[in-house]
Amino acid sequence: MFAAHTRRFFTAATAATGRHTPAHLHRCLATNSNSYVGFIGLGNMGASMALNLKAAGHKMCVYDVNSDVLKKFEEGGATIAASPAEVAAVSRVVVTMLPSSPHVREVTLKGVFSTALANSLFIDASTIDPATSRDLASTAEVEKACMMVDAPVSGGVVAAANATLTFMVGGPHEGYTDAKPYLETMGKNVVHCGPAGNGQVVKICNNLLLAISMIGTSEAMALGVRLGMDPKVLAGVLATSTGRCWSVDTYNPVPGVQEGVPSSRDYKGGFASKLMRKDLGLAMDAANSVGQTTPLGAVAHQLYSLISQHGHADLDFSSVFRYISSKKD
């Protein structure tokens, strides 16, 4: 049913405007009532982001490989697509939130770009390598007459749910300007970082620092608890001292210290350790490509690779505390 509707919509749009006549399709993105905002990738982060777009009044067309998630969105009034191509065929704006560079390449090149409407805007909120973002942005512009920006996020599942994410945007200023109203619906900080791929540069640097700080927080908390400190008292002091960081005062890795974070629900949900391992791998590859040494980053990558192989892969990355606190010399 939806596939037939998609074909009718796409055929009508092409006939009315001309597939290769951008002048007839000037990007009036926010006011185009005949198209959807598409969203592909409804995982822990993407689902909340898509719901925030829908809550803002956007007509949503969504796709994910998880049929259970799609059912929930359908019950909430979203239109369900059978493939990424179907999303793009009816959407002037398409947001992707996918696990890795290969996923983004496949969904984009084999799916979204195959039915893309001219002058559509593609916002990739995934965390991938900068080179892939730059290649896809070039393909979108040269071959599809579309704009693509990379807009990876920071803030975690809590910020995604509360629409307080930070978006790091790479792409031309026009793309940033067009994407900003949609990103502001899902977050509170939207920063233009420069040309295509620069959003990814900032993101991998952020996650490199985040992993290191989470490991440091976990070591300090594990040591303090083993020496007899109440973890809540310790965390409270650290949060007002020079060791303060996000891993201490907002996303503490010790169970029971804070409510509403993964450590207090058996490390379920949140940002998986295997994804942190992936992001650290991206940072290491980027560092090697420019000859930049990252000694602590290399150790962090090794540690997240290790815990991912020992039962923590699908647990939140703060579960590194559980691994560290269980070890004794």
H or E element, residue 72:
helix 67-75
The CA distances from residue 24 to 29, 90, 119, 157, 174, in Å, are 13, 17, 10, 39, 18
Residue 191: which residues within 8 A CB-CB, separation 6 or more? 166, 167, 168, 169, 202
Q: Which of 301, 120, 237, 283 is nearest to 252 (CA)?
A: 237
**Catalytic residue annotation:** 203
Q: In whole angstroms, what is the distance from residue 166 CA to residue 184 CA? A: 9
Tally of CB atoms within 10 A around 328: 5
* CB 200, CB 151: distance < 8 Å: no
CA 168, 174, 175, 178 dihedral sign is positive
Q: In whole angstroms, what is the distance from residue 328 CA to residue 209 CA? A: 26
CA 143, 147, 151, 157 dihedral sign is negative
Residue 254: which residues within 8 A CB-CB, separation 6 or more? 221, 225, 231, 235, 263, 321
Torsion of CA 130, 136, 139, 144, to 10 degrees: -140
H or E element, residue 323:
helix 320-325
The CA R_g of the chain, rounded to the nearest whole Å, is 21
Strands 91-96 and 79-80: unpaired
* Backbone phi and psi for residue 253, each to the nearest 5 degrees, phi listed first: -80, -5
The residue type at 241: S
